[in-house]
């Protein structure tokens, strides 16, 4: 997502930027998931919530002031303490007894051909939460929902969620289900949904992807009406599943009402996610002060994702196989240099609600989690990729993460050396085909890249040469067909639905070539111009983006559609990619200045095809690992 400085005004005129302490009290509402999900925060009675907690939080409608050359989306809340959402005793009692399901969403189980997870939330704790599954035989199977809850570390609100693991399903088969509980609100009805399992073995299928979605509720920072149209666009393409590439809803930018922002996100997504799995990865805006050691409690409590076998880190990263494609979902927060998590911008500290027991956060504090796994994620990635390239049932390896190795956005974040150092050598060695990201709110496609160009960067401050490990394009010929066994294609798909599109791209004024910003070191908080205020610097280096093949200056909004064709045994397999964009949806187009508005019409921008040899040909895997190894070029 974009990292520009902004100020949020509020009724009392004060400013600061964030959130609560990084503690997690690790209680379960249901021990049945103790080995299935990370532990949640302590459970406390839930205060009734309102769609916009103006009275409870003191927040006025947000006024966003974008500062040129800034580098942080800093949620500024007023000086003093946050308060829990205001509610009458009667409404609190009503809410605490309301188990009506909402925010229903699907994810794949450990085997997408035979298992799915149905997840949802409710205003209060549900009594006997459950899924009624129609297996097609005329009867219904009851699948219990395991309860997960946490208490927000800033406003003290308790959130109730549930996960029902449905397994023993038949591959490539449609099922309908109902989500219900014993204590539905008066007049409420259960939620109905459906799902199709993945095929077993090689088969055609479709998936879609974008990141940086936000919510349609414009009372929240970065939310915008395009978010609703983006969800409808996914449904219009009828994919088997959707990949959501991080920065789901930006609750951290609305620190007084984080649970309500998540709620609006879940309600919006239900229109699609109740009918096909939406597979997420965490972004920098899933990090929240006060909500777990890495700030991911809100995210991890809402999603039960495939296991990764790494203690303490289930849900942070994972993989799953559909047909002949292995999908690998990563948390790039663990490796990037950029400090882009929550920041208390000052000049005042932020005191969480008294009920949380959390101390005030000092100005200049950011939650920077680079290296949090101690190398466990990269070690897991190496094992996962090696196993995939040794598996004759896997043709394609597709990686999903939030931050970018290859972005030339001028007004966004740009690229990060941390990803290039840690993961691109593995992508080369094991011939990763496709990398799908968000972070910058635009569309960009790279040429296939392999290895890197050494010392091709320039330090912004001094002009001195700097190591950026610029990805080396194996071709710079414009084409609509690429062999990904020769190089990895990177796509920036950050056009979900935020109010800050970034379809403005870098150009080197000296030679007219495309230019990218690159973070080569951490940009930790530094004193700002105002007394007691703090900021974070932009990327410290630039490079000519020789790897950049296509950029969309027409709009920052779009969705990519991928159609996989398994091909014939021993032959070639392909993925046809069409990127559809919503022209005119930018609030103001950066190139033309034209004012726009949310637009439901997504039209094709470009189509291209990726091809590679199938892995069931003789001797294919031994050659793949060897030929994929590269250090640098040039």
Q: List per-block mean pLDDT (blocks of 10 residues) for the chain, which spans 634 residues.
A: 31 26 30 32 29 28 26 35 48 68 98 98 98 87 98 98 97 98 94 98 98 98 98 98 98 96 98 98 97 98 98 97 98 98 95 96 97 98 98 98 98 98 98 98 98 98 98 97 98 98 95 97 97 97 98 98 97 98 94 93 98 85 40 47
SS3 607: strand
In the prediction, which pLDDT does 139 show? 78
Instruction: Compute CA distances 157 → 20, 298, 597, whole Å.
Output: 13, 12, 34
Segments of 152-196 assigned E as strands: 158-166, 174-180, 191-196
Tell me the C-alpha distance between 173 and 564, whole Å: 18
Q: How many CB atoms lie within 10 A of CB 104?
A: 25
**What pLDDT does residue 592 have?**
86
What integer pLDDT is reported at residue 82 of this predicted model?
63
Residue 202 has what pLDDT?
A: 98
Distance CA 326, CA 392 (A): 12
For the chain, how many helices (H) and strands (E)? Answer: 9, 33
Q: Report DSSP state, residue 187.
A: T
CA atoms of 81 and 348, how far apart (whole Å): 10
Q: Quick one: CA torsion of 47, 53, 58, 63, rounded to 10 degrees?
A: 150
Q: Report pLDDT for 607.
A: 98
What letter does residue 185 receive in the DSSP assignment? Answer: P
**Tokens read off for 441:** 């709110």
| Torsion sign across C-alpha atoms 495, 501, 504, 506 | negative
Q: Give the model confidence (pLDDT) of 212-234 as tens digits.
A: 999 999 999 999 999 999 999 99
Helix/strand/coil for 502: coil
Give the single-character DSSP code of 334.
G
Classify residue 467 by burial, with Cβ atoms within 10 Å: 0-12, 13-18, 19+. Answer: middle
Cα within 13 Å of Cα(356), Cβ side: 32
Q: Which pLDDT score is estimated for 617?
A: 80
Query: pLDDT tens digits for 287-326?
Result: 999 999 999 999 999 999 999 999 999 999 999 999 999 9
pTM of this prediction exceeds 0.85: yes
Question: How is residue 575 annotated by DSSP?
Answer: E
Q: Which helix (H) or strand (E) holds 234?
A: helix 226-237
Place of tokens 């990327």: 539
Report how far residue 575's alpha carbon sits from residue 4's, in angstroms, rounded to the nearest whole number. 35
| pLDDT for the residue 103 | 98
Start-to-end C-alpha separation, the chain: 32
What contacts 93, CB < 8 A, 6 or more positions away?
none
CA distance 45 to 125: 9
User: Are the C-beta atoms of 475 and 527 separated by less than 8 Å?
Assistant: no
């Amino acid at each position: 997502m974009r990292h520009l400085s902004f100020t949020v005004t509020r009724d009392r005129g004060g400013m600061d930027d964030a959130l609560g302490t990084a503690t997690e009290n690790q209680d379960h509402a249901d021990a049945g998931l103790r080995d299935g999900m990370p532990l949640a925060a302590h459970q406390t009675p839930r205060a009734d919530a309102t769609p916009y907690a103006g009275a409870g939080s003191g927040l006025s409608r947000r006024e966003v002031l974008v500062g040129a050359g800034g580098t942080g989306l800093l949620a500024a809340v007023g000086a003093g303490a946050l308060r829990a959402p205001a509610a009458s005793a009667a409404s609190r009692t009503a809410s605490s007894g309301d188990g009506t399901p909402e925010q229903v969403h699907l994810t794949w189980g450990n085997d997408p051909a035979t298992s799915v997870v149905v997840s949802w939330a409710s205003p209060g704790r549900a009594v006997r939460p459950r899924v009624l599954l129609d297996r097609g035989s005329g009867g219904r199977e009851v699948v219990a929902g395991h309860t997960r809850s946490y208490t927000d570390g800033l406003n003290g609100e308790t959130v109730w969620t549930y996960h029902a693991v449905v397994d023993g399903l038949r591959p490539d088969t449609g099922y309908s289900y109902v989500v219900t509980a014993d204590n539905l609100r008066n007049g409420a009805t259960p939620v109905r949904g459906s799902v199709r399992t993945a095929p077993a073995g090689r088969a055609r299928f479709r998936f879609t992807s974008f990141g940086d979605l936000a919510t349609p509720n414009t009372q929240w920072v970065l939310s915008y009406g395009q978010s609703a149209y983006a969800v409808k666009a996914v449904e219009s393409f009828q994919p088997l599943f959707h990949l959501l590439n991080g920065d789901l809803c930006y609750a951290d930018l609305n620190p007084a009402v984080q649970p309500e922002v998540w709620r609006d996100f879940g309600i919006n997504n239900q229109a699609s996610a109740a009918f096909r799995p939406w597979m997420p990865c965490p972004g920098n805006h899933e990090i929240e002060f006060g909500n777990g050691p890495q700030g991911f409690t809100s995210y991890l409590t809402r999603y039960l994702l495939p296991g990764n076998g790494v203690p303490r880190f289930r849900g942070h990263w994972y993989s799953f196989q559909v047909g002949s494609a292995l999908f690998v979902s990563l948390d790039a927060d663990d490796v990037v240099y950029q400090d882009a998590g929550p920041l208390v911008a000052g000049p005042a500290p932020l005191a969480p609600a008294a009920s949380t027991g959390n101390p005030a956060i000092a100005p200049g504090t950011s939650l920077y989690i680079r290296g949090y796994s101690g190398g466990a994620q990269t070690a897991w990635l190496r094992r996962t990729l090696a196993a995939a390239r040794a598996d004759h049932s896997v043709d394609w390896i597709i990686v999903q993460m939030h931050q970018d190795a290859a972005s030339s956005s001028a007004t966004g974040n740009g690229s990060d050396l941390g990803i290039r150092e840690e993961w691109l050598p593995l992508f080369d060695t094991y011939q990763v085909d496709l990398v799908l990201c968000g972070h910058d709110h635009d569309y960009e496609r790279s040429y296939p890249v392999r290895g890197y160009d050494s010392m091709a960067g320039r330090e912004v401050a001094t002009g001195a040469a700097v190591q950026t490990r610029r990805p080396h394009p194996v071709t710079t010929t414009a084409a609509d067909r690429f062999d990904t066994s020769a190089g990895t294609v990177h796509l920036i798909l950050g056009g979900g639905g935020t109010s800050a599109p970034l379809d403005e791209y870098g150009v080197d004024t000296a030679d007219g070539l495309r230019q990218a910003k690159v973070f080569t070191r951490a940009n930790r908080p530094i004193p700002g111009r105002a007394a007691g205020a703090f900021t974070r610097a932009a990327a410290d280096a630039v490079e000519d983006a020789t790897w950049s093949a296509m950029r969309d200056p027409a709009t920052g909004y779009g969705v990519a559609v991928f159609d996989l064709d398994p091909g014939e045994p021993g032959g070639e397999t392909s993925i046809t990619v069409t990127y559809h964009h919503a022209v005119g949806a930018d609030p103001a187009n950066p190139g033309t200045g034209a004012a726009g508005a949310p637009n439901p019409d997504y039209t094709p921008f470009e189509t291209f095809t990726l091809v590679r040899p199938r892995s069931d040909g003789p001797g294919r895997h031994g050659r793949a690992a060897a030929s994929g190894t590269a250090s640098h070029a040039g």
